[in-house]
Amino acid sequence: MIKITLPDNSIREMPDGATAADVAAAIGPGLAKAAVGAIADYGHGPVTLDLAAPLTGDCRLKLLTDRNEEALTILRHSTAHVMAEAICKLWPQTKLVYGPPVEDGFYYDIDLDHRLKPEDFEKIEREMATIIAEDRPFTRYEMSREDGLAKVRREGNPYKVENAERAKGDRLSFYVTGPEPGRYWEDLCMGTHIPRTGRIAAYKVLSVSGAFLHGDASKQQLQRVYGTAFFDKKKLAEHLTRLEEARKRDHRKLGHELGLFVLDPVVGSGLVLWKPKGAIIRLLLEEHLRAKLRERGYQPVFTPHVGRLDLYRTSGHFPYYRDAQFPPLYESDAARLLNELWVAIAEATPAEGWPKDADKLLGELKLADENIWSRLTGADSGVPASQVLRRDPQARDANLQIIREHLQAGDGYLLKPMNCPQHIRIYASDPHSYRDLPVRLAEFGTVYRYEQSGEVSGLTRVRGFTQDDAHIFCTPDQLQDELASCLELTRYVLEMLGLRDYRVRIGLHDPNDPKFIKNPEAWAEAEAAIRAAAARSGMSATEEIGEAAFYGPKIDFVVKDCIGREWQLGTVQVDYNLPVRFDLSYIGADNRPHRPVMVHRAPFGSMERFVGILIEHFEGAFPLWLAPVQVVVAAISEKSATYAGEVFETLRKAGLRAELDDTAEKIGPKKHRARQMKVPYIAVIGEQEAAARMVNVNDREGRQIGNLALDDFVSKLQEENQPGGRDASAQT
């Protein structure tokens, strides 16, 4: 018998080999009918299961119904299979690649000579409806790795062969959309799936776009077909309405129409050119935050856009994230080969021992610089044995240090992926006493990530972006106060902009994931500190394993915009690891050296991403203080143009951003153009206004505010021209 612990901590005993479906049936017929999947935890972390999967031992079990968010992921994965089958039936020459569920839906990458168009979607959906109406079961079967590979090779789809070869474990699993293999459509798949196709109640094929295999532009171009699915039609309809609203608010479209930024392929994919109006928005945000930082004792710094690779070896950014970084710039071919050798040794597992590429790299190094090669290999008999590379897996760390010493004479450079290593070196450049701490260093620093071409998107996913970065070096006793201040600042920034609907997420490390720095004691301290700070703030928070930065846990602010989409914005991180890696210290009251704690924080995060989200949140209609143009002064005719010019100059001298439209065009088109550009106010100047020295005020919504004396109008604007001076949410 096995013991099943349910979410309410009640325990049920079930016979060996019982499935999640058996547990649901034992609880009651209603749950048995409603369940679509399960999550089991055998003590090693949660795993998602098919209802038909046998439970392999004592576990905690959560049965999933359409009320659970996790069930939606399973439904969408299953719908991706149904869509893929429909496409294969309509176009039998289709070669499937892979089709995962993603946020808000799913996609399937396919290789098909027929270019899919929106007109094809209805045809695909009709075929899907037939499969769903047949209410076929999703049936899983497994094969040995050897037999499974032979099967996919016989079938002749090179993408599935590659997927099978990349799969881990000694068995491969397949899912049949039907009761048995051989008679129905099937796919190589790890799972999980709903019990039957008939549970798919609402679905939609949404779009198709180009994509490269594994996101690599040098590989085969594919078609990526997107869709979504829900358990009921009402939720699908609500989702489609949100998508339509999102299209209207798309920052790429509005950014072009409002003249805020340009993404120029001549300059490069993912590289933003800020036009004057967009630069105004960004500078206003930066200037306001800089003033708040000065109030809180932050000191400004500037750092270069590149740094030596050894800086990032010490921090851990290289090589852990090199796939997301621009390629290094090397001082010589020998430096390139030494770096590649260092990476190969650093990434080799103990089981692998001496990396298979190491000898090839050493051979190339001999041609590039025989002197370095002879010293590393011991061919130079005058080199001490301690300075010669050894093939013993136990010599890994010593080998890495030997190579780093050779790189001191000529290393590579990297476009900086983060600002923190350079801020650390600024801190380390001076001795510090406990009386000096906390040291708070702030910079709007530009960093670079080599996002894959298929992942680059507008301002929200770019290759060069500026972070409102700050790093605090403090004593352990100061940590909670510093975290409280960082959290309060982030809340202020969001609420100032009307972004009041947010949740707080605590990101913790996954001890089984090799990307996280291995220092259990430091992680325990940092995670305890971040939890305490969240509790002290009074904000309720959820915890998510695996969402930490590689060096420390963090608190993220996940903001919901006015149409219900979630965005991760501000972040606060605690770091006990980098101070150790860089051997940072301060002299304590006991006149002995101590290790500071480091806090990373960025209320805006990426300025590009933050502005992109603001464009969509406000639909381009920014609150007055952020509007690139705050007032258009529009003269009705030539007779009022002189006074219109006076009004324009008065507004400009009062520090307001105004434009003058004294062209011969009629007033209607002038007002329409200003409203199209989302200008908050239009000051209409006719002969009557000129004679009375008044302004006739309209707003961008088409409302008539009426006639105001010029001084009163200026006072009204100045009062409103403050962050939070008018409820930002009222502008949406």
**Residue 153: helix, strand or coil by DSSP?**
helix
**How far is it, in rounded angstroms, from Cα 661 to Cα 682?**
10
Please check whether residue 658 is in contact with residue 652, taking contact to mean a CB–CB distance below 8 angstroms.
Answer: yes
What is the enclosing helix (H) or strand (E) of 220? none
Can you read off the two tokens belonging to residue 713?
Answer: 């109008």
Please check whether residue 527 is in contact with residue 577, taking contact to mean a CB–CB distance below 8 angstroms.
Answer: no
**How far is it, in rounded angstroms, from Cα 187 to Cα 164?**
11
**Residue 20: helix, strand or coil by DSSP?**
helix
Amino acid letter, 402: I
Can you read off the two tokens belonging to residue 655?
Answer: 């520090």
Out of 59, 88, 189, 420, the active site residue is 420
Annotation says 168 is catalytic: no
Annotation says 449 is catalytic: yes
107 burial via Cβ count (<10 Å: 0-12, 13-18, 19+)? buried
First to last CA, the chain: 59
What value, to the nearest 5°, has the Cα angle with vertex 448 and ends 442 and 450?
Answer: 155
Out of 204, 282, 423, 554, the active site residue is 554
* DSSP conformation letters of 546-583: T-SBTTB-EEEEEEE-TTS-EEEEEEEEEESSHHHHTT
**How far is it, in rounded angstroms, from Cα 239 to Cα 228?**
9
Please check whether residue 504 is in contact with residue 533, taking contact to mean a CB–CB distance below 8 angstroms.
Answer: no
Can you read off the two tokens belonging to residue 302?
Answer: 């500037």
Can you read off the two tokens belonging to residue 19?
Answer: 């499935």
Annotation says 471 is catalytic: yes
Please check whether residue 397 is in contact with residue 286, taking contact to mean a CB–CB distance below 8 angstroms.
Answer: no
Out of 471, 509, 671, 700, the active site residue is 471
**Residue 644: helix, strand or coil by DSSP?**
helix
Annotation says 467 is catalytic: yes
Out of 600, 601, 657, 700, the active site residue is 600
The single-letter DSSP state of residue 316 is T
Please check whether residue 604 is in contact with residue 653, taking contact to mean a CB–CB distance below 8 angstroms.
Answer: no
* DSSP conformation letters of 429-498: TS--BTTTPPEEEEEEEEEE----TTT-BTTTB-SEEEEEEEEEEE-GGGHHHHHHHHHHHHHHHHHHTT
Which residues make beta-bridge pairs with 299?
A: 441
Out of 375, 449, 463, 601, the active site residue is 449
Please check whether residue 78 is in contact with residue 197, taking contact to mean a CB–CB distance below 8 angstroms.
Answer: yes
**How far is it, in rounded angstroms, from Cα 199 to Cα 31?**
14
List the one residue out of 624, 691, 709 whose CA is nearest residue 658: 624
Out of 223, 467, 630, 731, the active site residue is 467
Please check whether residue 556 is in contact with residue 505, taking contact to mean a CB–CB distance below 8 angstroms.
Answer: yes
Sorted by sequence, the CB contacts under 8 Å of residue 336 that are 6+ apart come out as 328, 330, 412
448 burial via Cβ count (<10 Å: 0-12, 13-18, 19+)? buried
Backbone angles phi, psi at 678, to 5 degrees: 60, 30
Out of 468, 469, 575, 661, the active site residue is 469
What value, to the nearest 5°, has the Cα angle with vertex 323 and ends 322 and 327?
Answer: 65
Catalytically active residues are 420, 449, 467, 469, 471, 554, 600
